Structure 1
Amino acid sequence: MQTVKGIVARAKGRPVTLEEINVPDPGPGEAVVEIQACGVCHTDLHYRDGGINDDFPFLLGHEAAGVVEAVGEGVTNVKPGDYVILNWRAVCGDCRACRRGEPWYCFSTFNATQKMTLSDGTELTPALGIGAFIEKTLVHAGQCTPVDPAASPAAAGLLGCGVMAGIGAAINTGAVGRGKSVAVIGCGGVGCAAVAGSALAGAGTIIAVDVDDRKLEWASGLGATHTVNSRGRDAVEAIHELTGGFGADVVIDAVGIPETWKQAFYARDLAGTVVLVGVPHPDAKVPEIPLLDVFGRGGSLKSSWYGDCLPSRDFPMLIDLYLQGRLDLDAFVSERIGIDDVEAAFQKMSDGDVLRSVVIL
């Protein structure tokens, strides 16, 4: 066992604190990873504010890259010294999704068996089974995906959650392809990643929608062909106007509130696809829409879990595209901060001042 420093949320809505944390030596199937960088994601803020569950105290952080320090018995997929991105979909290979050949939906993903603890022995709940606002973390070995070590940790780690969620929402869930029209509602980190993924897939028209001109500028830099500030213009009308009156083939809701989901529903073309990737508040309800409209418009209404990604397939591919200059992951890194700056980063994120603050360890 070793003792390191990490960021903990002790109670709902309270500021996070830097604590001493005990990290066990890896047991069977586990790995200890020395964290090099970890992005500050909205999901961490949801944990802090009690929007996920009440299993406090939480060890926050999950968008991380680092180097494997040690592995436990039976681990064969990684070894000490491997440069890895951490993931929260450690595919089991045996659940009903995996057995039917859809491991990107794995319903029984693995986490470490042992618990990291505070210095007084209190067990911690790691965010998304990772807990990476910490110098070293304990995870299941299946949560480690080796990638090319030439990739910057600050950029690479973002594939661990938000950027992968957005890119995957476009490419994997929405099946965006050459010449398709796409609208993305909400252009924070996940929405901008959906824009970048749509551009990467060869979409012809990519419409970015937000109420903040700064975010629309970020989206333009990542591949949006048109922008709509919906504070002063009806988003549905604008998307129809920009797609010849038809609506977009794929509309991605990266906000996750009833109003934006309803906009996405009506902004798509006949037989078009709606993808919900923004995480809704637990109290949010599907807006009232006539069932005849659901039937009459056809198409698909989908939710995107983690961009429906398969880490072993998608992380190395996207890192290769990044190193080839075809995917600008660096554009998502708004600032590099220290581990004790996480609380301030939450405020910047809430204010819309950053795409991602990244903790450098």
Structure 2
Amino acid sequence: MAAPEGRRGLMARVAVWRGGTEVTLEAVALPEPGPGETLVEIDLATVCGSDHHTVSGRRPGACPSVLGHEGVGRIVGTGQRVVWGVTVSCGTCDRCLRGLTAKCRSLRKLGHEAYQVAWPLSGTYATHVLLPAGTAVVPVPDTLTDAVAAPAGCATATVMAALERAGSLRGRRVLVVGAGMLGLTAIAAAADAAAAEVVVSDVVPARLELASEFGATSTLSAGQGIGPVDVAMDFSGAAPAIEAALGALDVGGSLVLVGSVSPGPAISVDPESIVRGWRSVSGVHNYERRHLEQAVAFLADSDRPWAELVEEPVGLDRVGDVLTRELGRPRSSVRPRED
């Protein structure tokens, strides 16, 4: 992407993460969008757990960078309210042509790229974001509040991809491991999909209480025995929890791994058990445009208390605070504009 020209001298403000706990506020010339690009003024950004992991060193990430990839805003020039995908794909490589744009050969990701002149408005902890050609952009109905809509671009869409991978949940016994934002979304989606049971496992008692509000039929603390299930989805990334979920699969059962996005210890797998039990293990990372569209539709139709999962927003000057402190709720949020 070539360095964009300024938009009549107007400026955007960005929060640049520079390593450790250091975040600086900087001004960037507001660009004129090029062919296929979309300039969005951000109304609200929510803070994904992966950003906490990046700042704490648990997850590798470009530095310096403008973090943040969940957000909702309005297209500059039209006012259309939208959410957008986390990935930027070329659309022409072999993977894109196979329908795996989330694994494009030249993939770039919102909120994950190095802070540079060519694309400084690359994350959501900013007043504006420039969405390159190849980014999914999906309209949002005004019935969805900012706090409900913003997580669609990561948490909700990723869960939609995981559910697609799992197949129909109607009448099936479902295990959800990890009741953070993604897990709670999966719980609600599984309940809405007419699962026979939605069993939830987590190490945090407060999360298990939330799980019941979002559709869990039963909850288990870590280490408690898990009965046979037909589908298990792991959002924890914890090796012992994954092994327990795999061991809980009934004949014909499937395990979908979502939370293992950082290096971790290997798990023990008995191939004979997989073969004789007709069991399957698959993974999901990122998602496709259809999953983002499904995410918006799911949230628009849902009556769960999604807004209660998001803390009151802070300004850009406090991005460093929300990236380094413990969360009171599954999502912190940032309101970039100074109204």
Asked if Structure 1 and Structure 2 have the same fold, meaning a TM-score greater than 0.5 normalized by the shorter chain, the answer is yes
Structure 2 residue 258 is matched with structure 1 residue 277? yes
Q: Summarize the Cα distance change of 1:220–1:304 in structure 2 as closer, same or farther, 3 Å threshold.
A: same
Give deviations 1:116-135, integer Å, cap 9, x for gaps. Answer: 997xxx54877xx9401100
Please give the alpha-carbon distance, in whole angstroms, between the structure 2 residues aligned to 1:318 and 1:162.
9
Cross-structure match for 1:332? 309
User: After alignment, is 91-100 or 193-202 more displaced?
Assistant: 91-100
Give deviations 1:45-93, integer Å, cap 9, x for gaps. Answer: 23334555453111011101101115xxxxxxxxx32211021234544
Aligned length: 325
One-letter amino acid of the counterpart of residue 246, structure 2: F
Please give the alpha-carbon distance, in whole angstroms, between the structure 2 residues aligned to 1:162 and 1:45.
15
Cross-structure match for 1:290? 270
Structure 2 residue 1 is matched with structure 1 residue 8? no
Give deviations 1:101-144, integer Å, cap 9, x for gaps. Answer: x35655257659xxx997xxx54877xx9401100111214342
Please give the alpha-carbon distance, in whole angstroms, between the structure 1 residues aligned to 2:90 and 2:137.
13
Kept in 2, the 8 Å contact 1:168–1:197? The answer is: no
Q: How many percent identity over aligned positions?
A: 28
Deviation, 1:353, is 2.5
Kept in 1, the 8 Å contact 2:233–2:258? The answer is: yes
Structure 2 gaps of 5+ residues are 1-5
1:152 to 122, 142, 145: 145
Kept in 2, the 8 Å contact 1:335–1:356? The answer is: no
Kept in 1, the 8 Å contact 2:44–2:334? The answer is: yes
Structure 1 gaps of 5+ residues are 71-79, 241-246
Structure 2 residue 167 is matched with structure 1 residue 175? yes
What RMSD in Å do the two structures reach over aligned CA positions? 2.9
Kept in 1, the 8 Å contact 2:157–2:294? The answer is: no
Structure 2 residue 87 is matched with structure 1 residue 89? yes
Q: Summarize the Cα distance change of 1:327–1:108 in structure 2 as closer, same or farther, 3 Å threshold.
A: farther
Please give the alpha-carbon distance, in whole angstroms, between the structure 2 residues aligned to 1:333 and 1:198.
21
Q: Summarize the Cα distance change of 1:202–1:91 in structure 2 as closer, same or farther, 3 Å threshold.
A: farther
Q: What is the DSSP-based 3-state SS (H/G/I as helix, E as strand, rest coil) of the residue aligned with 1:60?
A: coil
Kept in 1, the 8 Å contact 2:14–2:26? The answer is: yes
Kept in 2, the 8 Å contact 1:7–1:59? The answer is: yes
One-letter amino acid of the counterpart of residue 92, structure 2: D
Structure 2 residue 235 is matched with structure 1 residue 254? yes
Q: Summarize the Cα distance change of 1:261–1:279 in structure 2 as closer, same or farther, 3 Å threshold.
A: same
1:28 to 20, 35, 40: 35
Deviation, 1:215, is 0.3
Q: Summarize the Cα distance change of 1:268–1:17 in structure 2 as closer, same or farther, 3 Å threshold.
A: farther
Which residues of 2 match residues 1-361 of structure 1 at below 5 A? 1=6, 2-11=10-19, 13-53=20-60, 55-70=62-77, 80-90=78-88, 92-100=90-98, 102-103=99-100, 105=102, 107-108=104-105, 123=117, 130-141=122-133, 142-169=135-162, 171-230=163-222, 234-235=223-224, 237=225, 239-240=226-227, 247-282=228-263, 284-306=264-286, 308=287, 310-311=288-289, 313-326=290-303, 328-348=305-325, 351=326, 353-361=328-336
Deviation, 1:270, is 1.8
Q: Summarize the Cα distance change of 1:315–1:225 in structure 2 as closer, same or farther, 3 Å threshold.
A: same
Kept in 2, the 8 Å contact 1:34–1:135? The answer is: yes
Q: Summarize the Cα distance change of 1:196–1:46 in structure 2 as closer, same or farther, 3 Å threshold.
A: same
Q: What is the DSSP-based 3-state SS (H/G/I as helix, E as strand, rest coil) of the residue aligned with 1:133?
A: coil
TM-score, normalised to structure 1, is: 0.80
